[in-house]
Amino acid sequence: MEVYVSGNQILFESDKVKSLGFTDYNEVLWNKIKEMKWNIRFSRSKNKKKQKPYIYSSNKGNPVDLHRFVMEHWYGESEMKKAKERDYVVDHLSNESLNCKISNLCFIPRTLNTSKGNDFDIRRKEVEKMFALNIFKDFRTQLFQITIVFNDPASFIDLENNKRLPIAKFFLLYDNKFRRVLT
């Protein structure tokens, strides 16, 4: 696997997948990543068509997935241990396993991760023709942002002034409570 920096991203390129993997560039993170050997593994799934690629390293005999490696870099080893003790996992908010940007990762309970994958992630794909919905987390503020971009004409109804206003996109901010954001 080729690993390199382009602009403000660290990119991971492999002939095993058509897409590039990526995370945010940070000099300290880059210095750690470039010293390791990275590869692609595919998730275990009963339905072989739905296997997802994950970037991982088995450097020094300790296998680690890139998304967990990135979270540990930004949050620290102690937060990773606390999350594991509470049965939390690192979730890819966009459901794109190769997007390991810190804004796309968050700790959520394992059970919520499973239900998100079995419901929300599927329904989000089904409505893409009408609107695109994405969730991001701002590492600095710890706020979640829901972004909705409408592909079909949409309106905001101003009940106070009895007006219908056309809208193309909508942004919502939420505190660091993922269950509420997902609901």
CA-wise closest residue to 128 among 150, 144, 99, 145 = 150
The pTM assigned to this predicted structure is: 0.86
Q: What are the backbone dihedrals phi and psi of residue 145, each rounded to the nearest 5 degrees, phi first?
A: -120, 130
What integer pLDDT is reported at residue 15 of this predicted model? 92
Distances (CA, A) of 101 to 30, 93, 128: 13, 10, 22
Query: Going residue by residue through the chain (183 aa), what tens digit of pLDDT does each one get?
Result: 999 999 999 999 999 898 999 999 999 999 999 999 999 999 876 555 668 999 999 877 788 999 999 999 999 999 999 999 999 999 999 999 999 999 999 999 999 999 998 998 888 888 988 999 999 999 999 999 999 999 999 999 999 999 999 999 989 999 988 888 888
Q: In the prediction, which pLDDT does 124 show?
A: 87
CA angle (127, 147, 124) in 5-degree steps: 25
Residue whose entry in the numeric block shows the structure tokens 């269950």: 179
- Say what the pLDDT of residue 179 is: 87
Which pLDDT score, from 0 to 100, does residue 125 have?
A: 86
Q: What is the pLDDT of residue 174?
A: 92
The pLDDT of residue 48: 55
